[in-house]
Amino acid sequence: MRFLVLLGLAESVVAAACSRVGQRVLHLDRRSYYAANWASFTFNSLLTWIKEQNEEPKPEEVKDWSSLMEEGEELIHLANSDSASITNLQVFSFTSEEEEEAPNTTEEEKAADEDAVKESSETESADSKEEEAGAAEKEDQPAQTEGEEPEADQPLPSSPSNPSEPVRKKISYAQLVKEGRRFNIDLVSKLLFSRGSLVDLLIKSNVSRYAEFKNVTRILTYRHGNVEQVPCSRADVFASRQLSVIEKRKLMRFLTSCMEETEEQTAYNGRPYLEFLRNQQLGESLQHFLLHSIAMVAEDTPTEEGLASTRHFLRCLGRYGNTPFLFPVYGLGEIPQCFCRMSAVFGGIYCLRHSVRCLIVDKDTNRVSLSLFATPSTAWSHD
């Protein structure tokens, strides 16, 4: 039997592969959820997770398992606490703590509101008819000459009333908690390139049928205090209103030329990618788009790495949509859970809230002969 601890992405893939070829798999995790640091939570579950992370770990009860050992075996104790992969956890709330209660509308109030809407619509139609009649009478009157004062009984034109601006509804903290199951939050936010080893693995293993993916519709960047859309495809470049015609031609010429390695590119190996972009006579805005939003590298990144990232970005365009990025609809935690589902389909056993205390290893064969793990209340042994 293959014995795996924790339910991260790598362990989930190994569990699915072992189960698929007929191996017996026992997968344990001391947590109460799948995917470890790749997990996705509802807002309420995230609050519970934060509370657990902030609690001080309880001291472990050390037991003497030496009585279970036989000759030629070695006892290996395993730590029960997770590695400090998440530290300095703080929570900030930028919403109002109090919920703005909306008045309860009864059936009578709803009917009164409907009557008010009807009366207002009738009033507006009557006013429009009066305005049309007034306009017709005005056409029959002689035109007023320049410098002539209006008659005393003639009403002066009134300034049009400005329509009230729509009031943006504020979201309170209590409302977030109430609607917390309508969205998921990833512990680690990641996107998938539409071409890559993980996407190929999802397709070849048929694991992708257990999840639903969506293509990112557009890419935005923050520049000079404004949020701008990054023109990453041919259609975006020609439809962009923030680039001039000359900039569009320069960008298309650069994206086409960088797909193949040239002697000019090789001459910049080891030099900053930003220097290469400047020498291509690209403007400041194009340099920003290419450096931070397409290649997604730092200014001092070597040119060969920047060009490789740019080529990978361009190769991923158009496979599933207008941008090269995919993401699971229900959160990043779906990917490890998909591999866990496949392992379970082929006989894998999963145990959450189980922690491994120690292993008894045969010194001669270097294989685990006995593993001792515990639930929150009892201890179990597995041979």
Q: Count structural domains, the chain.
A: 2
Distances (CA, A) of 226 to 221, 222, 223, 252: 8, 6, 5, 24
Q: Among 103-112, 207-216, 282-291, 321-330, whose mean pLDDT is lowest?
A: 103-112
Helix or strand or coil: residue 309?
helix
* 318 within some domain: yes
pLDDT single digits (tens) 271-297: 999 999 999 989 899 999 999 999 999
* 336 within some domain: yes
Q: Among 31-40, 60-69, 287-296, 309-318, whose mean pLDDT is lowest?
A: 60-69
> Could you tell me how far CA 381 lies from the centroid of its own chain?
40
Q: Provide the pLDDT confidence category of residue 354 given band limits of 50, 70 and 90.
A: confident
Q: Say whether pTM exceeds 0.85.
A: no
Enumerate residues 6+ apart whose C-beta is below 8 A from 331: 40, 184, 185, 186
pLDDT single digits (tens) 171-210: 788 888 888 889 999 998 889 999 999 999 999 999 999 9
Q: Provide the pLDDT confidence category of residue 158 given band limits of 50, 70 and 90.
A: very low
* 349 within some domain: yes
β-pair partners for 221: 228
Domain of 9 in residue numbering reads as 2-80+330-382
263, 345: one domain: no
281, 318: one domain: yes
Averaged pLDDT, 328-351: 92
76, 23: one domain: yes
pLDDT single digits (tens) 111-138: 555 555 455 555 555 555 455 545 444 4
Helix or strand or coil: residue 178?
helix
| pLDDT for res 121 | 52
- Averaged pLDDT of the chain: 78
- Tokens 């703590």 locate to 97
268, 312: one domain: yes
- Residue that is last in its domain, among 322, 354, 374: 322
CATH assignment of the domain containing 251 = 1.10.405.10
* 121 within some domain: no
CATH assignment of the domain containing 356 = 3.50.50.60
Measure the CA angle with vertex 193, ends 189 and 197; round to 5°. Answer: 105
Is residue 359 within 8 A of residue 371, CB to CB? The reply is yes
Q: Provide the pLDDT confidence category of residue 232 given band limits of 50, 70 and 90.
A: confident
